[in-house]
């Protein structure tokens, strides 16, 4: 086998390990996938009536369901990457990472395994959420092309946040820290157009909301689902995703190469 | 594997390492011939773990040269990684996998191929007495089983050089014996082994060569026999019930160090049955009853006292490698 083949093989082995972890740690997997579904029900049935009325005259719960699905898809992303961060921190604080480092394996394969595993988990979780949303009466006028584009945008954004979560997991001194820091992403999501239109926010907050990454992604996906215009949102969404992915990747690799596993006792 | 030359085993010369101001290794040199066991003996904080971490390519040395089976640790770390196996102080196993899956993971990462990998996994499970637990999650494993699995994972690709960092710390005596047996068998099969230990007895049982590390310096080295010849023998402590018996015994055994307050006599003796019987016969003939006795065999502290003139250096509990110190 060539070096490249070895590298691919190492990453595949690590991916398999990661997927096995997800199955072996079902409480976490279920929690990460279940949270967005619980929130979907909460937003639609508890808040939906009133929030929907705010979308326009004669609109209600049903219109809000259509409006909020992109926001909940982003909750799914933020939820899964929390698991990524925890899993990476668990690896780094355990002894196994030192074993990997003393073996002649592609160094990045450990991280790549986490990233691909989490990406698969995100896509699966989003598929489940969309299934539930359709069950509740979600309506989309998107054709196959729009669906593909929406999935692409979400996957790219998820990829970026997963790398960020990997870096956060590497930077964390303990698994507890690693489980807390990604919460920031959830907060950012609530300060975006994920759940309500930014037009309804006070000025300062609105400006913040309009210039942070979650808003263009939510707007693009919403536009694709509803057949509406996506305008410059898609470009902003892609730019944010690529930017975050590149910076987080550089940060993660640097942390991974310099930081040795914390001594555990 | 057939070429045996000077380029085998482990050779380290003048290895230095500091974490900030703290000098952890100060010009440490050692050599391990192929197929032999070197025990790096020292107390907590002596620098043993740091030495292993440097030799196994985990952290860089500040200076010094190191070759593992002919591969330079600094310029050819991947060459080193391909032929070494490392079992660290903390169990390097994947807790969310089963024993068999852990071994299979190693086989896959060593690119053994599907069939060869599966065979090797089965072989190791058998050899390390883990076949029954092969498909159980590690959370059900005992400490001894985890340690055995840990070592088995190290051996998947039959490394030529193995580093064992305190391989028996925390094991019960039986598991410790099992581990010793495995380590001896490996060396007999031609594997070069560097192990660290705080336990003189362990070094004595396993090692062909012992290097004593204290505060980052090698303070003594040699075969176990050579080292032991420098250590004063052990002694027997006799406890007496009253002052009269104590004095009679003190008169009888002039070599004894008396401790009148505690009614204890400390008599130099090795731990052989003959010398003990001789002492007891003497006391018996003189009709001096002994309340109880204890036998003291030389330990790490005696080694240190013999080679440095001071007792084991009082250091913090951990090797002085602060977290992320080299960041």
ipTM of the complex: 0.85
A199 touches A205 (CB < 8 A): no
Structure tokens at A198: 């930014």
B30: β partners: B12
Task: For residues A137 and A181, give the distance between their C-alpha atoms in angstroms, rounded to a whole number.
Answer: 34
Instruction: State the Cα–Cα distance between residues B83 and B61, nearest whole angstrom.
Output: 20
Residues of A in contact with B82 (CB under 8 A): 104
User: Which residues are CB-neighbours of B106 under 8 A, at least 6 positions away?
Assistant: A103, B153, B156, B157
Question: Measured between alpha carbons, how far is residue A180 from residues A90, A119, A124, A176, A185 in Å?
Answer: 14, 20, 23, 6, 10
For chain B, domains (ranges, CATH) are 10-229 (3.40.50.300), 235-297 (3.30.70)
| Cβ contact A78:A185 at 8 Å | yes
Note whether A260 contacts B59, CB cutoff 8 Å.
Answer: yes
Question: Any idea what the Cα angle at residue B320 is, between residues B305 and B55, rounded to 5°?
Answer: 90
Nearest to B325 by CA among B64, B16, B24: B24
Q: What is the pLDDT of residue A1?
A: 56
Contact (CB<8Å) B105/A104: no
- Quick one: pLDDT at residue B229? 76
Residues A199-225 pLDDT 10s: 889 999 999 999 999 999 999 999 999
Please give the interface size between A and B, counted as residue pairs whose CB atoms are below 8 Å apart.
77
DSSP secondary structure letters along A164-198: HHHHHHHH-SSHHHHHHTTHHHHHHHHTTTTTS-G
Per-residue pLDDT of chain A (265 residues; tens, 9 = 90+): 577 888 889 999 999 999 999 998 888 888 888 999 999 999 999 998 888 888 888 888 889 999 999 999 999 999 999 999 999 999 888 888 889 989 988 888 999 999 999 999 999 999 999 999 999 999 998 889 999 999 999 999 999 999 999 999 999 988 989 988 888 999 999 999 999 888 889 999 999 999 999 999 999 999 999 877 777 889 999 999 999 999 999 999 999 887 654 333 2
Instruction: Please identify every stretch of chain B with a pLDDT value under 50, giving residue numbers as ranges.
Output: 1-6, 314-327
Report the distance separating Cα B282 and Cα B238, nearest Å.
13
**pLDDT at residue B317 in the model:** 44
Q: What pLDDT, on a 0 to 100 scale, did the predictor assign at position B4?
A: 36
- Phi and psi of A33, rounded to 5°? -85, -30
B137–chain A nearest CA distance, Å: 9
Residues of chain B with Cβ-Cβ distance to A21 below 8 Å are 96-97
Query: Which residues 74-103 of chain A have a CB within 8 Å of chain B?
Result: 94-96, 98-103
Q: Using an 8 Å Cβ cutoff, are B294 and B236 in contact?
A: yes
Give the pLDDT confidence score for residue B309 in this predicted structure.
66
User: CB burial class (10 A; 0-12, 13-18, 19+) of residue A1?
Assistant: exposed
């Amino acid at each position: 086998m060539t070096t490249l083949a070895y590298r691919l093989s190492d990453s595949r082995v690590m991916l398999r390990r990661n997927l096995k972890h997800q199955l072996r740690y079902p409480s976490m997997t279920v929690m990460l996938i279940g949270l967005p579904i619980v929130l979907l029900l909460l937003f639609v049935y508890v808040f939906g009536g009133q929030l929907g009325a705010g979308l326009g005259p004669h609109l209600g719960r049903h219109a809000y369901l259509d409006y909020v699905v992109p926001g909940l898809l982003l909750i799914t992303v933020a939820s899964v990457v929390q698991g990524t961060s925890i899993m990476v921190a668990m690896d780094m604080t355990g002894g196994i990472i030192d074993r990997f480092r003393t073996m002649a394996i592609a160094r990045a394969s450990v991280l790549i395994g986490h990233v691909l595993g989490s990406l698969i988990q995100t896509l699966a979780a989003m598929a489940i959420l969309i299934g539930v949303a359709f069950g509740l009466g979600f309506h989309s006028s998107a054709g196959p092309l729009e669906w593909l584009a929406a999935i692409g945008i979400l996957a790219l954004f998820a990829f970026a946040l997963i790398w960020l979560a990997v870096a956060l997991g590497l930077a964390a001194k303990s698994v507890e820290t690693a489980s807390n820091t990604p919460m920031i992403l959830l907060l950012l999501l609530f300060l975006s157009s994920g759940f309500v239109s930014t037009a309804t926010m006070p000025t300062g907050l609105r400006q913040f909301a309009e210039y942070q990454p979650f808003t263009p992604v939510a707007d693009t996906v919403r536009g694709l689902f509803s057949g509406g215009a996506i305008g410059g949102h898609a470009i902003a969404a892609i730019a944010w995703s690529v930017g975050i992915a590149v910076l987080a990747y550089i940060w993660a690799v640097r942390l991974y190469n310099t930081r040795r596993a914390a001594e555990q006792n | 594997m057939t070429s045996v030359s000077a380029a085998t085993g482990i050779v380290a010369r003048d290895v230095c390492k500091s974490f900030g101001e703290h000098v952890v290794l100060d010009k440490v040199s050692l050599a391990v011939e192929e197929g032999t066991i070197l025990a790096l003996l020292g107390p907590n904080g002596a620098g043993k773990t740091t030495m292993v971490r440097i030799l196994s390519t985990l952290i860089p040395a500040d200076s010094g040269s190191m070759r593992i089976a002919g591969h330079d640790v600094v310029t050819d770390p991947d060459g080193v990684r391909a032929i070494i196996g490392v079992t660290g102080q903390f169990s390097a196993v994947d807790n969310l996998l089963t024993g068999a899956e852990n071994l299979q993971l190693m086989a896959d990462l060593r690119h053994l191929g599907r069939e060869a990998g599966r065979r090797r996994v089965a072989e190791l499970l058998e050899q390390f007495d883990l076949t029954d637990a092969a498909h159980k999650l590690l959370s059900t494993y005992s400490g001894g089983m985890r340690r055995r699995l840990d070592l088995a994972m190290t051996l998947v690709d039959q490394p030529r050089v193995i580093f064992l960092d305190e391989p028996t710390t925390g094991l019960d005596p039986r598991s410790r014996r099992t581990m010793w047996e495995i380590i001896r068998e490996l060396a007999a099969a031609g594997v070069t082994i560097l192990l660290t230990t705080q336990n003189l007895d362990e070094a004595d049982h396993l090692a062909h060569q012992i290097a004593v590390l204290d505060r980052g310096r090698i303070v003594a080295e040699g075969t176990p026999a050579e080292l032991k010849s420098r250590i004063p023998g052990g002694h027997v402590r006799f406890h007496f019930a009253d002052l009269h018996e104590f004095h009679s015994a003190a008169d009888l055994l002039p070599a004894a160090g008396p401790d009148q307050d505690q009614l204890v006599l400390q008599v130099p003796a090795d731990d052989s049955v003959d010398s003990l019987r001789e002492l007891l016969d003497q006391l018996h003939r003189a009709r001096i009853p002994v309340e109880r006795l204890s036998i003291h065999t030389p330990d790490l502290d005696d080694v240190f006292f013999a080679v440095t003139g001071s007792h084991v250096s009082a250091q913090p509990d951990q090797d002085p490698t602060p977290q992320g110190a080299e960041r």
